[in-house]
């Protein structure tokens, strides 16, 4: 297949190397964005008089025709082309002839590829923000329903103090809120147009990068051509946000797995979201949660992979950067599907309120409150701590005995009323704030 270069090359590229370097398969998802970028570039070139009106009309008409066909799944890159940019030009040339190559004037694949990538990323970020938000909405609904359900809160996976189930669920809501904010911030980083930076130094043609940026809906054009052709900060930021969001999902997945055990028995996954064993008929396994927990590893890996690709690169573009896209695409696919799966599993799960209440009625969970009561009755905190510790071992001091009736699990939860605490009233206020957060 004809290449976009080759004038000085005496022999053909090795077939082995050609296979090794080909990026068409992964670039394919950039096709609509490449067509958009080409369209904006041609439009700008015609506005500044680099391409004559007639050629521009022909090119724009045909690029639009191709875009519509791509959108309708009637056209998709195929054949032995080095990358999506080569395919677009070849396809264009098959329709309009040699003027197709004028799309290459005043730009290079180095600025084009990262323009395509940023355009794709912007759409993807909006999709991922919505996916996170949908999950937050589900957690909010579950929290609303379970405000007055009491369960043990844990530290070191040992029962610690009683909390409202809603409080536990909202903890994940806030983790996801921070994830959503990171994705929103990443959109800002991504919203810069590289087109016109050329291979590295810009162009001697009278191009107007601000105009191309405007036509493509970017917030601004690049500041420095050397920087922008090799800058992948937006991709790293996305991978970091995705990795952290997956880590949060994985923590929740771990709790789903624990809570679904006979030992805990706090939760039952719906049949629609669990799997049986081919051998053991009694089994109902929390596979969706396990897969999310497992796949978190690959997203963390993608972040490390891209950071490592970039760390030794001199300015400006280097071919190493081609491998930015598979990492980001894979991480985005994993994040999007994991959010959907975990949200679906949670939404349809049943909480076993009695089991939670029974576990929360463990008198040990009231130990802190008992010590606090002793302090209120005038015993210094260290001594109170000591006395309650001994009480837990069966040695109850006379000063402790009269206080025992004053304490219940309900009073321990209800007593925690300040902002952000685990008590019912405080959690109700927290729920209001969570609801408002999603409105903006």
Binding site for ligand ARG (CB under 6 A): 23, 83, 109-110, 113, 317, 319, 321-322
Least gap, CB of 108 to ligand ARG (angstroms): 7
Nearest CB to ligand ARG, comparing residues 322 and 361: 322
Structure tokens at 80: 């032995």
Nearest CB to ligand ARG, comparing residues 328 and 422: 328
Least gap, CB of 219 to ligand ARG (angstroms): 23
Nearest CB to ligand ARG, comparing residues 45 and 113: 113
Contact of 239 with 335, CB cutoff 8 Å: no
CA gap 142, 176 in Å, rounded: 15
Structure tokens at 40: 């904006």
Least gap, CB of 340 to ligand ARG (angstroms): 29
277 among known catalytic residues: yes
CA gap 366, 411 in Å, rounded: 10
CB atoms within 10 A of CB 356: 23
Contact of 402 with 387, CB cutoff 8 Å: no
Catalytic residue, chosen from 14, 101, 220, 277, is 277
CA atoms within 13 A on the CB side of 321: 20
CA gap 351, 235 in Å, rounded: 38
Phi-psi region of 169 (alpha: psi -120 to 50; beta: other; left: phi over 0): alpha
CA gap 346, 356 in Å, rounded: 17
Total residues found in the chain within this entry: 440
The answer, yes or no, to whether the previous bond of 251 is cis (omega within 30 of 0) is no
Nearest CB to ligand ARG, comparing residues 320 and 362: 320
Least gap, CB of 29 to ligand ARG (angstroms): 12
Using CA atoms of 161, 166, 171, 175 in order, give the dihedral in degrees to the nearest 10.
170
CA gap 45, 108 in Å, rounded: 14
Nearest CB to ligand ARG, comparing residues 306 and 346: 306
Is the torsion defined by CA of 81, 85, 87, 93 positive or negative?
negative
Is the torsion defined by CA of 69, 27, 315, 5 positive or negative?
negative
CB atoms within 10 A of CB 382: 10
101 among known catalytic residues: no
Residue 154 phi, psi (nearest 5): -120, 150
Structure tokens at 107: 């730009």
Least gap, CB of 425 to ligand ARG (angstroms): 55
Least gap, CB of 202 to ligand ARG (angstroms): 16
Nearest CB to ligand ARG, comparing residues 107 and 293: 107
Q: At 307, is the secondary structure helix, strand, or coil?
A: helix
Q: Would you give the end-to-end CA distance of the chain in angstroms?
A: 51
Nearest CB to ligand ARG, comparing residues 63 and 321: 321
Nearest CB to ligand ARG, comparing residues 21 and 411: 21
Catalytic residue, chosen from 156, 348, 361, 418, is 156
Least gap, CB of 344 to ligand ARG (angstroms): 35
Tell me which residue of 97, 4, 33, 18 sits closest to 59, measured CA to CA.
Answer: 97
Least gap, CB of 317 to ligand ARG (angstroms): 6
Which position has the token pair 């700008």?
44
Q: Show which residues are catalytic.
A: 156, 277
């Amino acid at each position: 297949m004809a290449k976009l270069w080759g004038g000085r090359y005496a022999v053909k590229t090795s077939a082995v190397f050609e296979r090794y370097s080909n990026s068409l398969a992964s670039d394919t998802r950039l096709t609509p964005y490449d067509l958009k970028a080409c369209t904006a570039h041609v439009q700008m070139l015609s506005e500044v008089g680099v391409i004559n009106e007639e050629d521009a009309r022909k090119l724009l008409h045909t690029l639009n025709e191709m875009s519509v066909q791509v959108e309708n799944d009637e056209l998709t890159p195929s054949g032995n082309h080095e990358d999506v940019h080569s395919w677009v030009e070849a396809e264009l040339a098959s329709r309009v002839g040699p003027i197709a190559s004028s799309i290459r004037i005043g730009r290079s694949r180095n600025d084009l590829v990262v323009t395509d990538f940023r355009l794709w990323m912007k759409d993807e970020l909006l999709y991922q923000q919505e996916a996170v938000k949908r999950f937050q909405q589900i957690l909010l609904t579950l929290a609303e329903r379970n405000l007055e359900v009491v369960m043990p809160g844990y530290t070191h996976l040992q029962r610690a103090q009683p909390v409202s189930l809603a409080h536990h669920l909202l903890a994940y809501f806030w983790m996801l809120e921070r994830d959503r904010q990171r994705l929103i911030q990443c959109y800002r980083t991504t919203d810069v147009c590289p087109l016109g930076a050329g291979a590295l130094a810009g162009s001697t043609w009278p191009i107007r990068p601000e105009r191309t940026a405007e036509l493509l809906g970017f917030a601004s054009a690049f500041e420095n051509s050397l920087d922008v052709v090799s800058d992948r900060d937006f991709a790293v930021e996305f991978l970091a946000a995705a990795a952290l969001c997956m880590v949060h999902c994985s923590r929740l997945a771990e709790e789903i797995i624990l809570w679904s055990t006979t030992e805990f028995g706090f939760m039952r996954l719906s049949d629609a979201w669990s799997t049986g064993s081919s051998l053991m008929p009694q089994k109902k396994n929390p596979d969706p949660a396990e897969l999310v927990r497992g796949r978190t590893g690959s997203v963390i890996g993608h972040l490390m992979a891209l950071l490592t690709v970039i760390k030794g690169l001199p300015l400006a573009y280097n071919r190493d950067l081609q491998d930015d896209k598979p990492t980001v695409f894979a991480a985005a696919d994993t994040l999007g599907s994991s959010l959907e799966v975990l949200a679906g599993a949670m939404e349809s799960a049943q909480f076993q309120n009695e089991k939670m209440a029974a576990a929360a009625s463990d008198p040990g969970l009231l130990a802190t409150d008992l010590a606090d009561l002793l302090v209120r009755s005038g015993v210094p905190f260290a001594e109170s701590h000591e006395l309650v510790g001994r009480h837990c071992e069966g040695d109850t001091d006379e000063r402790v005995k009269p206080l025992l009736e004053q304490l219940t699990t309900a009073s321990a939860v209800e007593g925690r009323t300040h902002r952000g605490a685990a008590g019912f009233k405080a959690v109700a206020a927290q729920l209001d704030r969570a609801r408002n957060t999603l409105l903006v």
